Amino acid sequence: MIKATFHKYLLNFKQASGTSRGVLRTKETFFLILSEDEKQGIGECGLFRGLSIDDRPDYEEKLTWVCKNINLGLETLLSEVIGFPSIQFGLEQAFLSLKSKDKFTLFPSDFTSQKEPIFINGLIWMGDKTFMKSQIQQKIKDGFLCIKMKIGAINFEEEINLLKYIRSEFSSKDIELRVDANGAFQPKEALEKLKRLAAFDLHSIEQPIKQGQLQEMASLCEVTPLPIALDEELIGVFSVTKKQELLQIIQPQYIILKPSLVGGFTGSNEWIQLSEKQNIGWWITSALESNIGLNAIAQYTYTLQSKMPQGLGTGGLFTNNFESPLEVKNGSLQYNTANSWNFNLK
């Protein structure tokens, strides 16, 4: 018999982090702990307040139900929590963790045995021009070959100047540039802004307009001078039919998969299969999980063998994260087996 409990945990940011949705100082998350005989399994349910579709008043009630009914088995539980993608993801992790040798190696590979890293983008948080410029300089110094800049919160002309500054120092051969608008542009102005951004030889732009405007997004993707990646657009789309429909209508150049927001490994795999049928590119991104969730996402991502830089490696943002073998080095996420895990909820 498996026993299950869950624990709420508040991650504290080292410094307030700016997004187009406001400034983040803390991030709430939940850990699902399974025990059977002498073994333990851990999964992180990475609820993202204000963004997750499962940011609902009955979230903890659902987790309580999951713990009471844990012996229904993974498949049944996943189908019972369809509207709660972060709980689905936590369940997948916890069951894999329970079966693993050391509860942290969910997908043994050349990544977990320290033979190969995962190349990632360096994330530039929003802030004033000086703060953003200092971050850019640091990321380049840290060996990142791909930088992702969040835009849409400060003045657009200032953001254009920041991109000008990067491109005056580094060509697209030296640094790949991605921008993430988090839906900040109005549909009427979006194309004009995309034309101006395209001058900087960018890799892509994430979610230029708010999700849920399918026809407007489809029109943009059809004429855009700059590849568009869907991100928030995928949140809350659960059935395979609806996923297929959304991709067929919009026909984006890329999709971005956050396992905590799209139903874990199962949900991500569905999106990948559908997008590949339509020649749509994809990459995986973490969503401010602790090192427990990030570890699961990284190990899963490595198994997919994508050659693109992934959106991982946010574990260093928090003051009270858990010590782990994960480390960001030379623009990549690495699994350093010399560092051990310390998962302590106190």
| 267 vs 192: CA distance, rounded Å | 34
Q: At what angle do helices 264-277 and 85-99 cross, to 10 degrees?
A: 110
Residue 148 is a catalytic residue: no
Residue 242 is a catalytic residue: no
C-alpha pair distances (Å), 190 with each of 127, 186, 256: 22, 6, 20
| DSSP result, 119-172 | EBPEEEPB--HHHHHHHHHHHHHTT-SEEEEE-SSS-HHHHHHHHHHHHHH--T
| 125 vs 108: CA distance, rounded Å | 32
Of 103, 148, 193, 258, the active-site residue reads 258
CB atoms within 10 A of CB 116: 14
| 301 vs 8: CA distance, rounded Å | 26
Of 27, 103, 139, 150, the active-site residue reads 150
Say if residue 346 is exposed, middle or buried (CB neighbours under 10 Å; 0-12, 13-18, 19+).
exposed
Q: Is 33 helix (H, G, I), strand (E, B) or coil?
A: strand
Residue-level length of the chain: 346
Active site residues: 150, 258
